[in-house]
Chain A
Amino acid sequence: MKRFAIGAFVIIAIIQWFVPGKMIWDKEAVLRKGKTFNFRTEPVDPLHPFKGRYIALSFKENEFTTTSPDSGLFHYGEAYVLLEKDNDGFAKIKNVVKEKPDAALDYVTASISYIDRKKDTAIVHLQYPFEVFYMDEYKAPKAETAYRESTRDSTQRTYAIVSILNGDAVIKDVMINDQPIRQVIMQMNHPE
């Protein structure tokens, strides 16, 4: 009986390692091999009881108008967002499809959060799997302030650097005026 319990425990322990391990493995692969895109953002600062404070990111490039009801985009669920870069080098939605695209293309798996149906067209609102950026609990509220100040001034720009591979994505950093947000906060704390 004791042997059985220990055997079972070892298996459970391995599974308990496997789940976080797989998370790391997948995300590291995205960071190493993925292609980087810059997404224009609009951050705010909420919290998660276990993971702490983060900046919730909503992206400017988050909707897509479809004219073909046959594309399946008139229904909720998962969708694949094909990406390209605009003239300023920011991420831009090229197309949104329901079937998994070829691995050679740059795409990210998102979910359809809202469909604004018109007669023959529909505006599909997308939710990306990289909408949070965790930060030190003291820095996160300041990051929000920094962001708000930067939006008042239309010459400033905020964006997230996201690495993308086979539909999976990892945020590398959030930038305000080409400067990492953590550095912006540090400068706020120690102005020269």
Chain B
Amino acid sequence: MRKSFVKELQELVGANIITPVTAQEIADYYKQREKDRPNRFSAVVNILGALLVSIGIVLVVAHNWDELRRTAKTFFAFLPLVTGQGLCLYVLLKKKNNIAWREAAGVILFFAVACSISLISQTYHISGTMSGFLLTWMLLTIPLVYILSSSVVALLYIAGITWYACDTGYFNYSDNVVPFYYLLLLTLVIPHYYSYVTHKKESNFFHLLNWLLVLSVTIVLGSFGTGQDRSEWVFAGYLALFSVFYLLGRLENFSNQKLSTNPFLIIGTLGIIFILMFRSFDSSWTGAFRYSDINNRASMYASRFLYITIAILTVAAWLMLSGYRAAKNIIFDPTGFSGFVLLLLLLAFRSMPHIAVLFINLWILFLAVFFIRKGALQDHLGILNFGLLIIATLAILRFFDDDIPFIWRGFFFLITGAGFFAANYMMVKKRKAITKN
């Protein structure tokens, strides 16, 4: 307990605000709470130590010990594995409730598995692909997440399967390979994640898991496309994904948390605005229009990403129907609908890019107005200025748009600038009125 806090308690007793008994009770309460909380510092240091040692062993193994005979190499291949397994067994028997031990042992065994496969591949000069290696490694280590209930292993696992998906989908010469296994591998970690959603929402590991999951899915989605996929569907797919993220971020589980611990909302919102801004350019529609035959309907619907988009939007629709009924929204929130808007525009106005661009611009303005209104109603300058920032960005982008006459652009800028002043002035005035009362 901090000294300043004890001092303040004494001050309150001195001023007769609380009795000495209450002061003692408060002090006891905080002492007990500190005791219940595991020693975070030692856990972090142990986990980092285990990570560094493990990576060190991997690098030592990668040196390739030519001088060793085959039998010696085989022995050394199993040495880290035995050590890691021994450590894990010890933890299971004696230190089951110690986070630092559990996580450190999990990390060591996680890397030991990689070491042993690597050493044997070296010994017998097995070519093998990187993705095959990662797949074997991840499948051999995922049970540790549950047996040791190790969250660091879960984090490493998510990173590993992301690497696997990238290696299969992006870094592969034959362009038709899609990392379908990624979906299966991802579902294997979901029960662990779910246990955090239901019981340990305050834990730092939960926030880290959230961030890593959001980033992983964002990175991997594009790898499901093939060379034949049209770029507009890839954009639509990503916008649908960001809409889902946004809707998830608005769920009660996340929306009550700090913004920095809500990656769904951050990545969702930024992603939505970024893609809409990109599609607000005339050239992003006419370019695709010029390079592909619009009369060729079959090829337009033959794109796999179109169906991925529809699948993701089904999830979005389900989230809206189930989530929005329960949530108490102050005003109607249109942000989550962005994915549907782009899909409809692509289906209806693909051959009329000017109309589509007009709608996209109007939609962005609509979103900006929503954030400004929400900020004003909640008395939150951050949200209000975010809305204004969207308009400002849109204005800057249109400044460079040659298709709009100077006079219109000029008026747009004047109105936007005046809007900034007016909105902030009104907000500050409102705050002053509240403090006066």
Contact = CB atoms under 8 A, between A and B. Distances in A.
A27 B78 contact: no
Contacts of A191: none
B133 A50 contact: yes
A-side interface size class: 35 or more
A20 B124 CA distance: 11
A188 interface: no
B273 to A, nearest CB: 36
Contact of A12 (B64, B117, B144): B144
B63 A12 contact: no
A144 to B, nearest CB: 14
At the interface, is chain B mostly helix, strand, loop or mixed?
A: helix
Interface stretch (A66-74, A86-94, A125-133): A125-133
A128 B146 CA distance: 39
B275 interface: no
Contacts of A15: 140
Contact of A9 (B81, B113, B124, B147): B147
A27 to B, nearest CB: 4
A135 B126 contact: no
A119 to B, nearest CB: 24
A8 B143 contact: yes
Interface in B138-160: 140, 143-144, 146-148
Given A9-B89, A136-B66, A51 B143 contact: no
A139 B66 contact: yes
Contacts of A129: 126-127
Contacts of A104: none
Contact of A135 (B61, B66, B89): B66
A170 B124 contact: yes
How big is the B interface, by class?
A: 35 or more
Interface string A70-112: 0000001000000000000000000000000000000000000
B120 interface: yes
A48 B130 contact: yes
Given A9-B88, A50-B114, A23 B64 contact: no
B116 interface: yes
A23 B66 contact: no
Contact of A137 (B63, B96, B115, B120): B63
Interface string A125-168: 00011111111110110000000000000000000000000000
Contacts of A24: 74, 120, 123-124
B74 A6 contact: no
Contacts of A170: 124-125
Interface of B: 58, 61-67, 74, 77-78, 81, 85, 88-89, 92-93, 96, 109, 113-118, 120-127, 130, 133, 136, 140, 143-144, 146-148, 174
Interface of A: 2, 5-6, 8-9, 12-13, 15-17, 19-20, 23-24, 27, 48-54, 76, 128-137, 139-140, 170-171, 182
Interchain residue pairs A-B with the least CB separation, the first 9: A52-B62, A27-B124, A134-B122, A136-B66, A171-B125, A12-B143, A50-B118, A52-B64, A51-B118
Given A53-B64, A132-B127, 17 more contacts: A2-B92, A6-B89, A8-B147, A9-B88, A16-B85, A16-B109, A16-B113, A17-B81, A23-B117, A48-B62, A52-B61, A52-B64, A129-B126, A129-B127, A130-B127, A134-B121, A134-B122
